[in-house]
Amino acid sequence: MSATTSSLEPLFTILSYSYATLETNFYKLPGSSVVARYVKSSHQNDPGRTLLEVFLIIFAIRTLLQSRTRADNSGKHFISFDEKEIDELVDEWTPEPLAAELSPKEQAELASIPVIVGPTGPKPKLSNGKTVLNLASYNFTGLAGNEDIKQSGVETLRKYGLGSCGPPGFYGNQDVHIQLEKDIADFLGTESAILYSQAFSTISSVIPAFCKRGDLIVADRGVNFSIQKGLQISRCTVRWYDHNDLNSLEQVLEAIEKERQKKRSPLTRRFIVTEGIFDHDGAMSDLPKLIELKLKFKYRLILDESISFGSVGRTGRGLTELYNVPADQVDMLVGSVANGLASAGGFCAGTNIVVNHQRINGTSFVFSAAMPALLTVAASEGISILRNTPSILSTLQENIRAVRVILDRVDCISIPSHPASATIHLHVKLPSPMHLSPRVPPPSPSLSSSSSGKPSNPLSPTPREAPQFDAELEEKLLQDVVEEALAQGVLITRAKRLRGQELNDIRPSIRLAISAALNKKDCEKAANVVKAAFVKIVGRQRR
């Protein structure tokens, strides 16, 4: 017994010696006493505490070392295979084709897209050699083909070249862009504006720049696709109100406020998102009421004026001019330079804070090249033309009236658009809902059981009483109308939408876009052609 102890004696001495040197050396290190004190205080004669700390440190190191792109093979759903099995599974797997073949209907649709040879304008020439009256292009103010714009465009080309060759953050920010942003802000009467290089990508970037997860958006059920995508990207909570029904909006806002007070949840950013003139049907928002509600409930307003900017108001400033509401009442006023000024791109106008925030957070502003200088100058020129010639907008309104007078009275057309809207949507009006073929399913099965009269569920984008229509049949009829009108020399188009990708099924329509470049006679002639085509095609269907 003692023999073993004595034999271990040198070992113990070495151990105690090495421990002593280690300790003295440790205390020699600068700051070591702090560490020692920390360890002592956290240990507190309880090994469990030290163990916990050690675990925490190991866990932190493990998390840090783990790659972000590691394979996820730890979940409970993971099935482990050996290499041979994986090889077999790989061989076995056959993917779907990348692109599904076009159906005959889709092919027909593709073939029916008109091709304009030469410039677009009030009377473009089509690929079949025919010159037609154009009631389809977004050329409200007739700026397309304007000689002054062309000339300043060429001058800009010689000074700046074509492309800007860089995103705005990195030397793509040319003086012409700054000028156009200033022009838009001055034109609308806001502090500042920011220019995006594509109209569609504007609001789908503006919304996620401000609204994050946890924020609240109250949106119209009929908002356009770009807004829908912006809402999807932003991942915030969305509540819906009935299309262009501000009473419904008020109810939703009240319900939200009640709920918030009940739950005492913290205040988050809250927005109302809607359109000035709706892309889907041409209906117009009641801006003064909207502003009143937003101020009452303390929401910020994101207003998409892609259609209304450059088409309503005395000089085309949009809804704010029409209703005589100061533009700074709208927190984020989004518009389309492509539609309103017959150039390209989009903008968001607001306060300096709103605009500067987007210069770093607006995804498609930051990560995309700035617009070509030529198009920017064309838009600036367009604004100065609109400012100086209010007669353009009065001509446009006269043309709209001329067309509406003829089309309003046709009994197989229903028009949801506002009388002042430059886009006029024409729906097929069939005699009675009995006409609908029985194979049309109800839009949502959950709705069929509900009693009418109750407000729609704000959580769901589908309204309680979704309009019933036979999209396929109506699309076909409308396409026939388009072709009939084209044969008579009037270019119109169906409003093209991605059915199935939109939140709600939108009733098919023919979208007319009235232009100030046409004279009244042409408009009347074109409207009569459209009317005749409708009567012929839809009338045949009725019989």
Q: Least Å distance between CB 293 and another protein?
A: 14
> Letter for the amino acid at 333?
L
Q: Least Å distance between CB 526 and another protein?
A: 14
Q: Least Å distance between CB 178 and another protein?
A: 6
232 binds another protein (CB under 8 A): yes
114 binds another protein (CB under 8 A): yes
73 binds another protein (CB under 8 A): yes
DSSP conformation letters of 14-67: HHHHHHHHHHHHHHHSTTHHHHHHHHHHHHTT-HHHHHHHHHHHHHHHHHHHS-
Query: Residue 298's Cα: distance from chain center in Å?
Result: 23
- Is the Cβ of residue 49 or residue 496 nearer to another protein in the bound state? 496
Q: Least Å distance between CB 177 and another protein?
A: 8
479 binds another protein (CB under 8 A): no
From the number of C-beta atoms within 10 Å of its C-beta (0-12, 13-18, 19+), residue 95 rates as exposed
Residues in Cβ contact with 119 at an 8 Å cutoff, skipping those fewer than 6 apart: 144, 145
The residue within the footprint of another protein, chosen from 354, 385, 506, 523 (CB under 8 A), is: 354
Q: Least Å distance between CB 297 and another protein?
A: 9
- Is the Cβ of residue 315 or residue 515 nearer to another protein in the bound state? 515
Q: Is 146 helix (H, G, I), strand (E, B) or coil?
A: coil
197 binds another protein (CB under 8 A): yes
- Is the Cβ of residue 148 or residue 411 nearer to another protein in the bound state? 148
Map 200-260 to HEC letters.
HHHHHHHHHHHCCCCCEEEEECCCCHHHHHHHHHHCCEEEEECCCCHHHHHHHHHHHHHHH
Map 273-299 to HEC letters.
EEECECCCCCCECCHHHHHHHHHHHCC
Which of 458, 214, 233, 224 shows the shortest CA–CA distance to 334?
224
Q: Least Å distance between CB 477 and another protein?
A: 18
DSSP conformation letters of 458-499: TTSSS-TTPPP--HHHHHHHHHHHHHHHHHTTEE-EE----T
Stretch 310-339 residues interacting with another protein (CB under 8 A):
336, 338-339
101 binds another protein (CB under 8 A): yes
Q: Specify whether the CB–CB gap between 289 and 329 falls below 8 A.
A: no
463 binds another protein (CB under 8 A): no
77 binds another protein (CB under 8 A): yes
Structure tokens at 178: 């700054």
Please give the Cα distance from 519 to 122 (Å, whole number).
Answer: 10
29 binds another protein (CB under 8 A): no
491 binds another protein (CB under 8 A): yes
488 binds another protein (CB under 8 A): no
Stretch that binds another protein, among 108-116, 318-326, 437-445, 523-531 (CB under 8 A): 108-116
357 binds another protein (CB under 8 A): yes
Stretch that binds another protein, among 34-42, 102-110, 450-458, 526-534 (CB under 8 A): 102-110
Q: Least Å distance between CB 417 and another protein?
A: 17
Q: Least Å distance between CB 511 and another protein?
A: 8
Stretch that binds another protein, among 146-154, 243-251, 283-291, 434-442 (CB under 8 A): 146-154
405 binds another protein (CB under 8 A): no
Stretch that binds another protein, among 7-15, 55-63, 218-226, 456-464 (CB under 8 A): 218-226
- Is the Cβ of residue 418 or residue 494 nearer to another protein in the bound state? 494
The residue within the footprint of another protein, chosen from 50, 268, 414, 460 (CB under 8 A), is: 268
Residues in Cβ contact with 230 at an 8 Å cutoff, skipping those fewer than 6 apart: 203, 204, 205, 206, 207, 208
189 binds another protein (CB under 8 A): no
Please give the Cα distance from 127 to 122 (Å, whole number).
Answer: 16
Q: How many residues bind another protein (CB under 8 A)?
A: 123
171 binds another protein (CB under 8 A): yes
H or E element, residue 196? strand 192-196
Please give the Cα distance from 342 to 424 (Å, whole number).
Answer: 18
The residue within the footprint of another protein, chosen from 359, 401, 429, 476 (CB under 8 A), is: 359
- Is the Cβ of residue 67 or residue 432 nearer to another protein in the bound state? 67
Stretch that binds another protein, among 319-327, 436-444, 445-453, 490-498 (CB under 8 A): 490-498
489 binds another protein (CB under 8 A): no
378 binds another protein (CB under 8 A): yes
Question: What dihedral do alpha carbons 74, 77, 82, 87 form, nearest 10°?
Answer: -120
Stretch 501-530 residues interacting with another protein (CB under 8 A):
501, 511
DSSP conformation letters of 298-319: T-EEEEE-TTTTTTSSSSS--H
Q: Specify whether the CB–CB gap between 536 and 410 falls below 8 A.
A: no
From the number of C-beta atoms within 10 Å of its C-beta (0-12, 13-18, 19+), residue 489 rates as middle
- Is the Cβ of residue 190 or residue 493 nearer to another protein in the bound state? 493
